[in-house]
Amino acid sequence: MIIDCHGHYTTAPKALEEWRNRQIAALTDPAQQPSATDLRISDDELRESIATNQLKKMRERGSDLTIFSPRASFMAHHIGTFETSATWAGICNELCYRVSQLFPDNFIGAAMLPQSPGVDPSSCIPELERCVKEYGFVGINLNPDPSGGHWTSPPLSDRYWYPIYEKMVEFGIPAMVHVSTSCNACFHTTGAHYLNADTTAFMQCLTSDLFKDFPELKFVIPHGGGAVPYHWGRFRGLAQELKKPLLEEHLLNNIFFDTCVYHQPGIDLLTKVIPVDNILFASEMIGAVRGVDPQTGFYFDDTLRYVEASSTLSAEDRHKIYEGNARRVYPRLDATLKRKGQ
Ligand SMILES: [Zn+2]
């Protein structure tokens, strides 16, 4: 089985975006305020939005199951208040849940949290609990910067975040560390802010002893770990100067990287530098980079192709990257699959 740990509902019917636009308009004109029940999307509409997009490409490319979360750039936690985010997260998570019910063999949910800048993260716990207990979601996306590019929250190692971590450990769910839209003109959302955040999250963990407090806590750092694998020597050297343990024992029991790197040399470097036990297959399809690479004739985000072509991986390594590691990092996914006899 090939599990893609990083997919978003980027193809939701237009009605979702229209509802969100009304919600945003209501921040200055309360008369426009839509209620959650104003959004009506039929099962047929959901089915079509998936069958003609993500599922079609999964079948063409050969992956089986996607861990599916709301569209990352649409989370936009910086907009409005906690209540704004709470209603929006509830709607987006429910749509992912419905997709997972319509296509139970191909999609399983991961939750967006109703984060809001300056608001205590423990406010996210009711939505997190609902998604795990009622929807059977197996992970969450945690935004280390709900301000959208201004970095006003404490680092991920700060006790500020501990209520979320306690719940993650209790439920046995990992967090993909995933920012949303940048509203800072210096940072392009997917080209800079996402990759900066991946690198930043890793360094926040490196300088701290977070995983001494939470030995069971697991983070998936997406987009191939940002700059981390490429600069592994710098991080090893910094850890040494800071008198931290070797990165393998300091961070690699808790931090994992996905394969959302959109060319062969990037995947070759990732798989050479990072232990295979810490790499999870992912494509973030359909996501940030949707075009065809003229150098290869294949889609940039057809990452399975690069993993298949990597000359250093054994069949056993590939099995770990495709399935084994995901079952270990997402124990609720493993339990769900086992219940189905998989
Ligand atoms: Zn993503």
In CATH terms, 3-339 corresponds, of 3.60.20.40, 3.20.20.140, 3.40.50.450, 3.40.50.1010, to 3.20.20.140
Integer-rounded Cα Rg, in Å, for the chain is 19
Strand order in the sheet with 107-112: 3-9, 65-70, 107-112, 139-142, 175-177, 219-221, 255-258, 279-280
Residue written as tokens 């339990």? 335
CA distances 40 to 15, 37, 51, 60, Å, are 8, 7, 19, 31
Section 88-95 average pLDDT:
98
Q: Is 216 a catalytic residue?
A: no
Question: Given this model, what pLDDT does residue 134 score?
Answer: 98
- Among 94, 129, 241, 284, which one carries the catalytic annotation? 284
Segment 222-232, tens digit of pLDDT? 999 999 999 99
Predicted structure pTM score = 0.98
Confidence of residue 199 (pLDDT cuts 50, 70, 90): very high
What three-state secondary structure class fits 202? helix
Those residues with Cβ within 8 angstroms of residue 179's Cβ, 6 or more apart along the chain or in another chain = 72, 143, 144, 145, 148, 149, 193, 194, 197
Q: How far is the CA of 341 from the centre of ligand 1 (A)?
A: 29
Length of the chain: 342
Percent of the chain with pLDDT over 90: 99
For the chain, the structural domain boundaries read: 3-339
Structure tokens at 121: 């993260």
What three-state secondary structure class fits 39? coil
Beta bridge partner(s), residue 279: 257
Q: How far is the CA of 80 from the centre of ligand 1 (A)?
A: 22
Section 247-258 average pLDDT:
98
Segment 95-104, tens digit of pLDDT? 999 999 999 9
